[in-house]
Chain A
Amino acid sequence: MSAQPSATPKLFHHSTPSTRTTGWFNRLKVGPKISLGYAAALGIAMGGTIIGIAVGNSYQQQAQNLQADAIDEILDIKDLRQSLTQVIAEERELITWLDNPERFQSIYELYRNSTEEFEEEWAELLAEYEEDIEEGIEEADEIEFLENLIENYDGIVSNYFKDVDQIISELNLTELQDKTLIEVKQRFIDLNRRPNAIKIEEFAEQLSKFAETIEEEELAAAADVIQTAAQLRTQVITISIVLSLIIASFLALLISRAINRPLKAVEETALRVTREGNFDLRATVTSNDEIGTLSIALNQLIEWVSTYTRSLKEAQQELEEQTQELNAIIDNLGDGLLVTDSQGCITRANPALRGMFSLNDTQLNHQPAHTIFDQRITELITKNQTDPTISQSKELELTSDRVGQALVTAITSAVESETEGKAIQSVGSVVLIRDITAEKEVDRMKTDFISTVSHELRTPLTSVLGFAKLIQKKLEETVLPAVNIDTKKTERAARQVRENLNIIVSEGERLTSLINDVLDIAKIEAGKIEWNMQPIAIAEIIERAIAAISVLLQTSGLDIIRDIESDLPEVVGDRDRLIQVLINLFSNAIKFTDSGSVTCRVFCQNNEVSISIIDTGIGLASDDLEKVFEKFKQIGEVMTDKPKGTGLGLPICKQIIEHHGGRIWAESTLGEGSTFSFTLPLNIPVESGIAKVSLQTVVEQLKDNVDRTIAPERKTQKTILVVDDEPHIRTLLRQELEATGYQVQEAKDGMDALRKIKATPPDLIVMDVMMPNINGFDLAAVLKSNPATMNIPTIVLSIIQDQERGYRLGVDRYLSKPIDTDTLLHDIKTLLTQGASNRKVLVVDMDTSTTKTLMDVLVSKGYQVIEASTGHDSIEKALSLKPDMIIVDSAISTEHELVKTLRFDNGLENIFIIMMDHQLVPQMQTQEFQSSNPTPRH
């Protein structure tokens, strides 16, 4: 398995020794190969068997032939003996027939024939023996026996016949007499007594013996041979079968190996490629059968996979390089980078960010952002997730006294954002935090510089302007009346002094406004201006601006034309700054218009309000249209007549409008008039049915709605207790509150306050925190824990920024110094109209964890929370405790018809009820209130 790739071809060479010799074999398909193997094995087995049978048969035949020969021989010898016996018998018979010549003659004839026949047969036998001896097939003892016979008995028969023949020839049978007859008989008897006759008889006996011998030996031998042949045949057949089986098996093995080896090799290649991932391996193609095709296919597959894998690897590497580059960029980014998913969990933070927040050893990934970063960042992320189209930036403090600017943008999928009309889904947020400490420092230095310069300019200017004005006054009041203006010279001098002084004063004033503008623009650019953004009615601020320029308008004698669309929506902006812009544009229009009118046109278009100030004045050259918004670019040539501006008015306008997200531009025809226009975007609330509403939003809503569930204001004058250790603050508040129509009590510290509250409980308390003898927090704690005083609305007014503590104590509002009178008065009014403090919220939910969550949030915001877990319970509590609001699980509500019961049956028609859809609630716990889904229904 661990063989080197090069070993694979070797393997194939081994596996197919037949390749070289039998090319055709490899061209065969696997099926024919197997068939061929079977055929070869079967053929060899059959052939072997047939050959075995044939060999055995041949042996048997041979043995049988041998036996037949022996039998022939025996029969021949027996025939010979028979003949000899006949010869003897006939010769003996001759005697008996001597008296009968006819008969004798016929016997004699027979005798002679028999003798001749015997001689012939004997000769034949001898001849055969000769042949056999020559061929060497006759057995030795047989030959010996025969030679013995030949030696002893060859020719005796014929000799004997000659003897007989001689006797007979001497006879004359016809004349034979008794006497002669006896004599002849005697001769024959003599003859018979002779050794020859005895020998012939012996010969006959010997022949019989010979036949017996042959019979005994030869037949036994033949039987032996036959038996041997049969055995041999069996052996040959067995051997040939075994042999052919072996050969067939060997052949079958060979063929199966020829099939199996390449298959094995292919398999091994496939396995190795799979296991080692070595795509350099290739299966060797050795045959044209299916395995060959398989190898080719496998090779192509490996090639393909290899190519694919390589390109994949290359792409991956490229991607990795890109990622590394990106990572390097991100890691070396000077700005801090924080990426969160849509759930607000951190997915990425770069070293710069860690440095900024000293988080070098903190595990950040997959942590919810709010557990690590403070509220300002998490708020940015939450807002961004709520509406991905808004990219917001915020300044925040970093560690070691550094300042950062955070910019959040949503990660939206490009595809979806291309499809118009679909709500853009955000998959996360990117917060980029730039350390702007240096910039802030530069800004601060710049602002300091400007403020110092402005101070240094103002001081001499104060003297110049002040004395000039004093001189003016003294001149008019004291000097001139005392001077005798009789002479023309004196009169002229007096007039010139007056005019010159006027120039000094007006130029001094221009210098002052220039300084003011420079300061203004510097502040805007440095972001030092506190923008007081609030909903504004356009028509109203236009009227305010027109009122401000009324004097100018009157002196100019121009008409003002209002072309203002009715039912304009409110815009969000800084009222005073927008009025400043309008005044500037109006003043410019009036300044550069001698006669005609100034038109103010306002209309709403494309989600923005467009405001234009149109004059019929000298106008501007088209080249100058852009320049007028550049700093210190007064269009000199055109304005030589009336150099009254500072050259900073329009740049300031531009800054203000751009801060509001609007545009400002000028259109003009020289000599016919100019149009200065600006736009303000309308903040249209995004209507999204399934948009996630943060609990924060719900709490805001609760607050607003609780504020609205107010009983009509009672006519009696309300008393407000002002608690502050600083008398002038008390005075200030007293003046402002009394001016608004409230009765004011004062207390100089917490102890004093308690005394006064006990004597005459006020309707509302405004208190400082840092006071001697019971501070504000302690005072609030005492008041809020006493049932007699806990319902008195309380406002904290302090330089100490500890809202959380205040709200936890049950304070209704927490305002910071310096006092923003408008907010204070608004809050006082709201709280007084609302009546009792510490708004009660009844939470009805079966799920205790939800109730707990809501309670925590509400309590932290200063609400008094009552729990109820069943419908009956909630109705009872609602009736007895009269909460300002009920938050109820919609399931419980439906079950008990809670809304109907409370509203119509129990006279709580003004109560504010929020229903919560329970399926949507569980998310709250995991996401820490950031994205719960309570659906308020009215």
Chain B
Amino acid sequence: MNKTILIVDDEVHIRVLLEQTLEDLEDEGVELLTASNGAEALELIQIEKPDLVFLDVMMPKMTGFEVCQAVKRDIATQNTYIIMLTAKGQEFDQQQGHEAGANLYMTKPFDPDEVLEKATEILAIA
């Protein structure tokens, strides 16, 4: 069964960066999806039910926290692994992320190697 990763960020460069970072996984049959805002992301999650979501916090329409909360509330999607990506390096954000139900929290700028490593680990791809 194919694994799916959803990349959510309003900044196109970040999306591209993450896509390129994770493109190696495509060889393993992982499908990469992208969304440029929270609302779109939530819709995609509900339809595609990705295994892993890289979720930016500061986005128009719907923040990452809100998306995260909605995803974790919905029984159908509550097992989705969510990695919050934020530019706000404050403890407060981390707490908020925790409360919203995020599984992991990564601060921008992130190390591409680390991202790839985490994704591999989470998707349990050998």
Residue numbers of A with Cβ under 8 A of B are 451, 454-456, 458-467, 469-470, 473, 508, 512, 515-516, 519, 523, 530, 726-728, 732, 817-818
Contacts and interface: CB of A to CB of B under 8 A. Distances in A.
Contacts of A732: 98
Contacts of B101: 726, 728
Contacts of A519: 89-90
Contacts of A463: 11, 13-14, 17
Contacts of A470: 17, 20-21, 112
Contacts of B107: 458
B88 A469 contact: no
Nearest to B94: A818
B87 A727 contact: no
Given A455-B87, A462-B14, A508-B109, 16 more contacts: A451-B88, A454-B89, A455-B88, A458-B107, A459-B87, A462-B87, A462-B109, A466-B21, A469-B111, A473-B113, A515-B89, A519-B89, A726-B72, A726-B101, A732-B98, A818-B99
Interface string B5-22: 000000101100100110
10 contacts: A454-B88, A455-B88, A459-B108, A462-B17, A462-B108, A466-B21, A466-B110, A467-B17, A728-B101, A818-B99
Given A451-B90, A463-B17, A470-B21, A458 B109 contact: yes
B33 to A, nearest CB: 19
Contacts of A451: 88, 90
A459 B11 contact: yes
B87 A466 contact: no
A454 B89 CA distance: 8
A470 B110 CA distance: 12
A516 B110 contact: no
Contacts of B112: 466, 469-470, 473
A856 to B, nearest CB: 36
Contacts of B95: 818
Residue among A465, A728, A732 with the highest chain B CB neighbour number at 10 A:
A728
A5 to B, nearest CB: 83
A461 B89 contact: no
B78 interface: yes
- Please list the 8 inter-chain residue pairs (A to B) with the smallest Cβ-Cβ separation, ordered nearest first: A458-B87, A455-B87, A462-B109, A463-B13, A466-B17, A462-B108, A818-B95, A465-B109
Nearest to A472: B112
Nearest to A726: B101
Nearest to A520: B89
B109 A512 contact: yes
B72 A728 contact: yes
B30 interface: no
B58 interface: yes
A454 B109 contact: no
Nearest to A477: B24
Contacts of A459: 11, 14, 87, 108
Contacts of B58: 455
A458 B108 contact: yes
A68 B110 CA distance: 172
Contacts of A460: 13
A519 B14 CA distance: 22
Given A455-B58, A466-B21, A818 B98 contact: yes
Given A461-B109, A466-B109, A817 B99 contact: yes
A454 B109 CA distance: 11
Contacts of A523: 90
Contacts of A512: 109
B54 to A, nearest CB: 12
Contacts of A473: 112-113
Nearest to B96: A818
B104 to A, nearest CB: 12
Contacts of A458: 87, 89, 107-109
A574 to B, nearest CB: 13
Contacts of A465: 109
Contact of A727 (B14, B20, B78): B78
A530 B91 CA distance: 10
Interface in B75-104: 78, 87-91, 95, 98-99, 101, 103
A616 to B, nearest CB: 35
Contacts of B87: 454-456, 458-459, 462
Contacts of B90: 451, 519, 523
Nearest to B103: A728
A726 B75 CA distance: 11
Nearest to B115: A466
Contacts of B110: 462, 466
B21 to A, nearest CB: 6
B125 to A, nearest CB: 18
B19 to A, nearest CB: 10
A706 B72 CA distance: 41
Residue from the set B21, B101, B109 with the largest chain A CB neighbour count within 10 Å: B109
Interface string B49-61: 0000000001000
Contacts of B89: 454, 458, 515-516, 519
Nearest to A461: B109
B87 to A, nearest CB: 4
A470 B91 CA distance: 28
